Amino acid sequence: MHNVVLLGDSILDNAAYTAGGPAVIAHVRQQLPPGWRATLNAVDGATTDDLQPQLASLPPDASHLLLSIGGNNALLCQDILETPVTSSGEALLLFYALAQDFELAYRGAVQDCLKRNLPLVVCTIYHGNFPDPDYQRRVAVALTVFNDVIIRIAVEMRLKVIDLRSICNCADDYANPIEPSGSGGAKIARAIVLAVTEPASSARGANVVAN
């Protein structure tokens, strides 16, 4: 028996945003092969600081961990998009400081997951669906700082990565600017099932799952 445990935030705990339709966890359970189970430990609103309680409540039969976290860390820093600066160099230094702080937090979260000695898959942070095109562009650029951290740590630790930027790539994938819709959740679930059920690669570095 395999039991995939979903850890993280509302990318996975999205039932409140699907207008009564299936949430990610329901799609995952439907798409997993016979003999597989899925458990939802992710909590809407969680940041890297909130992962310990989710790990503490892992079911005894947990066999795989799926982590999608960091989006709320980024949201807590969204004021940087409106911060006045006197040069592009000053702006880059602000983003560098963000990257340093997030790397420390995210690395700790991944290491805490790996202490369970279970296969771990991580996810990038998607770009969302903001109504203001200029704001959307700024978000996409800012999130490269966070996603670079996620991918570099995945490469270093030879983890599979689900690139949610490539999966949730149209307006219908979102219930609001930052939450996945029922149809977006179905796409995320397909990537999760593929990531946890396909044979492990012996290649060095990360293995990216994009669809």
Q: Cα-flanking dihedrals φ and ψ of residue 91, to 5°? A: -65, -40
> One digit per residue, pLDDT tens: the chain, 211 residues?
899 999 999 999 999 999 999 999 999 999 999 999 999 999 999 999 999 999 999 999 999 999 999 999 999 999 988 888 889 999 889 889 999 999 999 999 999 999 999 999 999 999 999 999 999 999 999 999 999 999 999 999 999 999 999 999 999 999 999 999 999 999 999 999 999 998 766 555 667 877 6
Residue 115 burial (C-beta neighbours within 10 Å; 0-12, 13-18, 19+): exposed
Q: CATH homologous superfamily for 2-209?
A: SGNH hydrolase (3.40.50.1110)
pLDDT of residue 209: 77
Q: What is the DSSP string of 110-139?
A: HHHHHTT-S-EEEE-------SSHHHHHHH
pLDDT of residue 201: 64
Give residue limits of the domains in the chain.
Answer: 2-209
pLDDT of residue 59: 97
- The token pair at 40 is 């939802």
Is the Cβ–Cβ distance between 108 and 154 less than 8 Å?
no
Residue 46 burial (C-beta neighbours within 10 Å; 0-12, 13-18, 19+): buried
* Separation CA 102–CA 123 (nearest Å): 15
Q: What is the pTM of this model?
A: 0.94
pLDDT of residue 50: 96
